[in-house]
Structure 1
Amino acid sequence: MKKILIVSTVSRQFYLFEQGNIEVLKSLGYEIHAAANFSDANERLDALDIIRHPFDIQRSPLSLKNLKAYKQLKKIMESENFDAVHCHSPMGGVLARLAARSVGISPVIYTAHGFHFYKGAPIINWLVFYPVERYLSKYTDVLITINNEDYNEAQKFKAKKVIYVPGIGVDTNKITKVSIDIDRKREELGITSDTVVLLSIGEMIKRKNHETVLKAIANLKDQNLVYLICGKGELESYLKGLVKTLGIEEKVRFLGYRNDIPEICNASDLFLFPSYQEGLPVSVMEAMSAGLPVICSSIRGNTDLIENEIGGYLLEPDDVEGFAKKINKLINNQELLNNMGNNNKESVKRFDKKEVKNKMEEIYKYI
């Protein structure tokens, strides 16, 4: 039986993003090993049927603990006769490719879930991450990118093969065919049937930039709308304070972490996503699958998904006035809102999980 080692920084990578790949590898007869810092392990890992190899990898490239982690990973690779390595995350990609090179394991696959250098990124990102990724690409048999900007940049590297795979995909059928009584779901959320429902999904962190939408909503005082935010994060208290400062407490609901995202998407009218940085956002694909138009930032990843003025609008992340105007335009034009939502429902099919799994099967067969 062939054996493959999947390497990442944290173990949640395996159940959040690798389930599809694990299913494909099992269907091809692989024994699957996983190496990560398992300090974040929980019961969701148990269902994956993978052989765990804990090591002390750290997310920060400046941590000296990664020197120890590199030696640990080499020992893991030396102790097993792996036929291939598939690595993820910046530090996982660095340590795994160096260790595999040292031990003599080939082929090596690296998935870049959004390079840390991108258009508009801080110059320090380009100075630190770009030369590292460029150098290590020569030790990479297959470099997988998940958006077009990264794919084009990776063409300048020295990987044997650069392939575009649209992220982890989305189960469009699960969201499209969800059985829901919309009025009852809205009642559960404390929303009347005649209220326009705006939705964002994402951690309450700086990168997700919820501030822009909150400030835009403050400019729409006369509209009968409510804004739902699904997610938790370090900025939750700050954002709740901002809501009070803006005087929009009656228009905003903080829903926290949710297990009913498909239902909430189907009970909403419009999706908002002003993020500063993305790879290929699953939440936008989920919203598209539910037939929602999307107003989002014109950044890498988002531009792969949303066609401006066809599936919604692409704006600068901090364009508060622009977000307010486009929200106002859509919620007052039901025909346009429906047309954009229907366009998204159709265009998102090319990002379906089945399509992704087919591409990954071709890659794994190639190795």
Structure 2
Amino acid sequence: MRKVLIVSTVSRQFYLFEQGNIEVLNSLGYEVHASANFSDANERLDALGIIRHPFDIQRSPFSLKNIKAYKQLKKIMKSENFDAVHCHSPMGGVLARLAAKSLGITAVIYTAHGFHFYKGAPFVNWVVYYPVEKFLARYTDHLITINKEDLYKANDFKAGQVHYVPGIGVDTNKFDDAVGRREEKRAELRIEEDTVVLLSIGEMIKRKNHETALRAIAKLENQNYVYLICGRGELDSYLQELTLSLGIQEKVRFLGFRNDIKEICIASDVFVFPSYQEGLPVSVMEAMSAGLPIIASEIRGNTDLIENGVGGYLLHPEDIDGFAASIQKVVNNTPLRQAMGTNNKTEVRKYDTSVVKNKMREIYSGL
């Protein structure tokens, strides 16, 4: 049986982003192995049926522990005699490609889930990450990008082949099945049917920029709304204190980590996403699948998904007044909300999981 090794920094990559790839590989007759730092492992990995190979990879490119991790990964590759390696994450991509090259593995795939050198990125990102990715491209048989900005950059690299695959996709059909649950979920959350529900999904970290959204909704004139935020992270306390200082604590609900994102999207009316940096955001695709208009930052990934003024509005991540005005416009105009949502529900079909699986099947079949 042919064997493939998927490499990442953390093991949650496998169940959050690699499930579709694993299914495709299994259907093509591959035995799927996975290497990562499994310190974050949980029971969700068990359902994937992958063979695990832990090693001590670190996320920081400056960690000396990655020297040891490289030797461990090389030993894993040598002992299993893999037919192909598919790597993810910046450090996973570095160590896996170097190890595969040293062992003569000729089928090496790297998926860039969003280059760290992007339009508006800190100068240090360009100094550290750009030359490394450009150099390692020569050790990459298939370089996969998930948005148009990265595709443009990757075409200047010397990889064997450069592909565009629209992220991990989203199962748009599951949102169709959940339509009848809007009233049920609203009742559970104690939200009246005539209340406009604003929604954001994302970790409570600086990159997701929840602060801009909070400061924007504090400026809304129409007060018939509630703002739901799904996610958790290091800025939890800070953001909750910010709602108090802005006087909007009665309008904002921090829901934490949720397993019912699909139903919450269906129960909402507007999606707000002021993130500073993305590859191709799944949460935006989920909101589009639920038929929501999107008020988002004008950044890589978001610009692939949303046409400004058609599926929503795109603004600078720190344009608080712009976010406030755009949210106000769709809150006050139900026909506009519905038109934008209908457009998004159609547009997101291009990013369905079936589309992504077909593209990945073509790449894997050609190894």
1:105 aligns with 2:105: yes
1:319 aligns with 2:323: no
Secondary structure in 2 matching 1:105: coil
Secondary structure in 2 matching 1:364: helix
- 1:246 match: 246
Aligned partners of 1:245, 1:310: CA distance in 2, in Å?
Answer: 34
Q: Offset of 1:106 from its aligned partner?
A: 1.1
- 1:365 match: 365
Listed as ranges, the matches of 1:278-357 within 5 Å are: 278-357=278-357
Alignment coverage as a number of residue pairs:
367
* Contact preservation (8 Å) 2:221, 2:328: no
- 1:50 match: 50
Q: Offset of 1:184 from its aligned partner?
A: 3.0
Aligned partners of 2:151, 2:231: CA distance in 1, in Å?
Answer: 29
Q: Offset of 1:222 from its aligned partner?
A: 4.1
Q: Offset of 1:314 from its aligned partner?
A: 0.5
- 1:171 match: 171
Could you give the per-residue CA deviations for residues 44-98 of structure 1, whole angstroms, max 9, x where no partner exists?
1111111111111000000000000001111111101111100000000000000
- 1:156 match: 156
Aligned partners of 2:201, 2:308: CA distance in 1, in Å?
Answer: 20
* Contact preservation (8 Å) 1:74, 1:100: yes
Seen in structure 2, the aligned counterparts of structure 1 residues 181 and 98 have a Cα distance that, compared at 3 Å, is closer
Q: Offset of 1:123 from its aligned partner?
A: 0.1
Listed as ranges, the matches of 1:1-367 within 5 Å are: 1-367=1-367
Aligned partners of 1:214, 1:33: CA distance in 2, in Å?
Answer: 43
Aligned partners of 2:144, 2:269: CA distance in 1, in Å?
Answer: 34
The residue type paired with residue 260 of structure 1 is: D
Q: What's the TM-score once normalised by structure 1's chain length?
A: 0.99
* Contact preservation (8 Å) 2:179, 2:266: no
* Contact preservation (8 Å) 1:180, 1:263: no
Secondary structure in 1 matching 2:250: helix
Q: Offset of 1:190 from its aligned partner?
A: 2.1
Q: What's the TM-score once normalised by structure 2's chain length?
A: 0.99
Could you give the per-residue CA deviations for residues 80-138 of structure 1, whole angstroms, max 9, x where no partner exists?
11111000000000000000010111110000000000000000000000000000000
Aligned partners of 1:19, 1:182: CA distance in 2, in Å?
Answer: 28
Q: Offset of 1:332 from its aligned partner?
A: 1.0
* Contact preservation (8 Å) 1:97, 1:140: yes
Query: What is the root-mean-square deviation in Å for CA atoms of aligned residues?
Result: 0.8
Moved over 4 A (4+): none
Could you give the per-residue CA deviations for residues 279-327 of structure 1, whole angstroms, max 9, x where no partner exists?
0000000000000000000000000000111100010001110011111
Aligned partners of 2:222, 2:292: CA distance in 1, in Å?
Answer: 23
Q: Which runs of 5+ in 2 are unaligned?
A: none
Aligned partners of 1:107, 1:233: CA distance in 2, in Å?
Answer: 37
* Contact preservation (8 Å) 2:5, 2:34: yes
Could you give the per-residue CA deviations for residues 4-36 of structure 1, whole angstroms, max 9, x where no partner exists?
111111111111100000000000000111111
Could you give the per-residue CA deviations for residues 319-343 of structure 1, whole angstroms, max 9, x where no partner exists?
1100111111111111111000000
Q: Offset of 1:180 from its aligned partner?
A: 3.4
* Contact preservation (8 Å) 1:84, 1:105: yes
Aligned partners of 1:35, 1:181: CA distance in 2, in Å?
Answer: 39
Aligned partners of 2:331, 2:138: CA distance in 1, in Å?
Answer: 50
Q: Offset of 1:245 from its aligned partner?
A: 0.2
Q: Which runs of 5+ in 1 are unaligned?
A: none
Aligned partners of 2:170, 2:184: CA distance in 1, in Å?
Answer: 26
* Contact preservation (8 Å) 2:181, 2:266: no
The percent of aligned pairs where both chains have the same amino acid is 74
Q: Offset of 1:221 from its aligned partner?
A: 4.5
Could you give the per-residue CA deviations for residues 339-359 of structure 1, whole angstroms, max 9, x where no partner exists?
000000000000000000000
Aligned partners of 1:182, 1:107: CA distance in 2, in Å?
Answer: 47
Aligned partners of 2:67, 2:25: CA distance in 1, in Å?
Answer: 30
Aligned partners of 2:196, 2:240: CA distance in 1, in Å?
Answer: 21
Aligned partners of 1:177, 1:331: CA distance in 2, in Å?
Answer: 26
Aligned partners of 1:308, 1:181: CA distance in 2, in Å?
Answer: 29
* Contact preservation (8 Å) 2:228, 2:255: yes
* Contact preservation (8 Å) 2:21, 2:360: yes
